[in-house]
Amino acid sequence: MKVKHHAMTFEAVQVYGPAAMAVLLSATSNETRGRVISLWSATAAFSLGVSSAVTGMFIDRLGVTTVFVALGSIMAIAGGVWLVARHPHVPER
């Protein structure tokens, strides 16, 4: 199961990495771009290793299905909170 978990993590990085890089490139000036990108890369590499280790420990104790359902639920709730905070007014029909 650990190989499958790492493959899924790698796929997520491949999907969201270029989008995050595009945002960073457009949000930084030419003078600071190199430092910002190197800090982002170092942080991403460190957090990928730490999150894989922590998730692996949870998977060993709770099982793959439980962990993925829990993480998916957390992400769905976080996305909903972000949408409500970003767009508090819902137009009436």
Q: Which of 9, 69, 81, 78 is nearest to 44 (CA)?
A: 9
Reading the block at residue 2, the tokens are 């650990």
Residue 5: pLDDT over 80? no
Identify the top-confidence range among 17-21, 47-51, 64-68, 80-84: 64-68
- Three-class secondary structure of residue 30 per DSSP: coil
Give me the mean pLDDT over the 64-93 stretch: 85
What's the pLDDT tens digit per position in 12-63? 666 677 777 788 788 888 898 889 888 888 888 898 888 888 989 999 999 9
**pLDDT in the model for residue 74:** 92
Single-letter residue type at 37:
I
Quote the CA–CA distance of 23 and 73 in Å, as a whole number: 26
**pLDDT in the model for residue 12:** 61
Reading the block at residue 49, the tokens are 């290793």
Q: How confident is the model at residue 1 (pLDDT cuts 50, 70, 90)?
A: very low
